[in-house]
Amino acid sequence: MNAKPTRFLSFVPYAAWIVLFVIAPIALITYYSFFDLAGNFTLENYRNFFTSIYFKLIVNSFWYAFLITFFSLLFAYPTAYFLTKTKHKQLWLLLIIIPSWINLLLKTYAFIGLFGLYGPINAFLEMAGIGQHQLLFTDFSFVFVAVYIFIPFMILPIFNSLDKLNPALIDAAQDLGANAWTTFSRVTLPLTMNGVKSGIQVVFIPALSLFMITRLIAGNKVITLGTAIEQQFLVAQNWGMGSTIAVFLILFMFIIMLFTSGSEKGAAGSGKIK
Partner 1 sequence: MGKLSKLPKLYLAFVFIILYTPIFYLLYYSFNSGGTMSGFESFTFEHYAAVFEDTRLIMILINTIVVALLSALVSTAIGVLGAVTITFIRKKALRNAILSMNNILIVSPDVIIGASFLILFTLVGVKLGFASVLISHIAFSIPIVVIMVLPKLQEMSPSLIDAAIDLGASRRDVLTRVIIPFIKPGIFAGFFLALTYSLDDFAVTFFVTGNGFSTLSVEIYSMARAGVTLTINALSGLIFIVTLLLVFGYYAINRKSKNPFSGVRK
For partner 1, the binding residues in 62-101 under the rule CB under 8 A are 75, 78-79, 82-86, 92, 94-99, 101
Tell me: does residue 109 bind partner 1 (CB under 8 A).
yes
Judge contact between 98 and 176, C-beta under 8 A. Answer: no
Tell me: does residue 41 bind partner 1 (CB under 8 A).
no
Q: Which is nearer to partner 1, 188 or 201 (CB)?
A: 201
Tell me: does residue 229 bind partner 1 (CB under 8 A).
yes
Region near partner 1 per CB under 8 A, out of 56-64, 102-110, 171-179, 186-194: 102-110
Distance between CA atoms of residues 237 and 226, nearest Å: 15
In angstroms, what is the minimal distance from the CB of 20 to partner 1? 8
In angstroms, what is the minimal distance from the CB of 44 to partner 1? 19
Region near partner 1 per CB under 8 A, out of 36-44, 108-116, 126-134, 179-187: 108-116
Q: Tell me the DSSP string of 88-129.
A: THHHHHHHHHHHHHS-HHHHHHHHHHHTSTTSHHHHHHHHTT
| Residue 239-258 contact track with partner 1, rule CB under 8 A, x = bound | x--xx--x--xx--x---x-
Q: Which is nearer to partner 1, 40 or 220 (CB)?
A: 220
Distance between CA atoms of residues 214 and 202, nearest Å: 18
Distance between CA atoms of residues 125 and 110, nearest Å: 18
Q: Which is nearer to partner 1, 78 or 190 (CB)?
A: 78
In angstroms, what is the minimal distance from the CB of 73 to partner 1? 14
Sign of CA dihedral 60, 66, 69, 70: negative
Distance between CA atoms of residues 242 and 48, nearest Å: 11
Tell me: does residue 11 bind partner 1 (CB under 8 A).
yes
Tell me: does residue 154 bind partner 1 (CB under 8 A).
no
Q: Which is nearer to partner 1, 128 or 258 (CB)?
A: 258
The separation between the first and the last C-alpha atoms of the chain, rounded to the nearest angstrom, is 43
Helix spans in the chain (H): 4-9, 12-17, 24-32, 44-49, 52-83, 89-101, 104-114, 120-127, 139-164, 167-175, 180-183, 189-191, 193-208, 212-217, 225-230, 239-260
By CB under 8 A, name the one of 205, 222, 223, 241 that touches partner 1: 205
Tell me: does residue 132 bind partner 1 (CB under 8 A).
no
In angstroms, what is the minimal distance from the CB of 129 to partner 1? 20
Distance between CA atoms of residues 84 and 31, nearest Å: 48
CA dihedral 213→218→221→223, nearest 10 degrees, is -20
Region near partner 1 per CB under 8 A, out of 41-49, 116-124, 130-138, 178-186: 116-124
